[in-house]
Amino acid sequence: MFFVRTYCRFLALPMAALMFAVSMPLGAVQAALVSTDQVVETSRIEADRMRIAALMTRADVQRQLTAQGVDPDEALARIAALSDEEVRRIAGRIDAMPAGQDALGTLIGAALIVFIILLITDLTGVTNVFPFVKSGQK
């Protein structure tokens, strides 16, 4: 009998703690489905963040940052700290900016538009600018 009492004393305290832990009211677990849009948006933001960081690691960009008095490592740290909305906005602006365009592309486009307008007016007989165009009126 003495053995049983000694054994029960050592076992009583852990059993009481276990019963108390089991009987505690726990909050219900909330689970929801993750939509494809949420997964795609998360991966898109991470890709945009990586693209901005890759742009900042280019040598010419780092030279410009240094010329402006900005530490390139600090700029990378700030990019890592941007919110998702800021990353989305910056990536959208990078996509909208012309990359390496100069006035030559604009001049060629304007000359092409003028040529097409003059060609159409020659075909309709309003002007006679190009000798190789045979207008509908004679």
Residue 44 and residue 89 in one domain? yes
Q: For the chain, first and last CA: distance in Å?
A: 130
pTM score over 0.75: no
Who wins on pLDDT, 50 or 95? Answer: 50
Residue 26 domain-assigned (yes or no): no
Check whether 98 has a pLDDT greater than 70.
no
Check whether 29 has a pLDDT greater than 80.
no
Residue 92 and residue 65 in one domain? yes
Measured over the CA atoms of residue 16, residue 17, residue 22 and residue 23, the dihedral's sign is positive
Neighbours of 125 (CB within 10 A): 13
Residue 42 and residue 90 in one domain? yes
Residue 73 domain-assigned (yes or no): yes
Residue 82 and residue 105 in one domain? no
Q: How many domains does the chain have?
A: 2
- Tell which residue, 136, 110, 108, has the closest CA to residue 121: 136
According to the model, what pLDDT value does residue 54 have?
85
Mean pLDDT in residue range 60-73: 84
3-state SS class at 138: coil
Residue 29 domain-assigned (yes or no): no
Write out the residue range of the structural domain in which residue 71 sits: 36-97
Residue 27 domain-assigned (yes or no): no
Q: What pLDDT, in 10s, does the model give residues 48-66?
A: 888 888 888 888 888 888 8
Question: Distance between CA 31 and CA 107 in Å, rounded?
Answer: 59
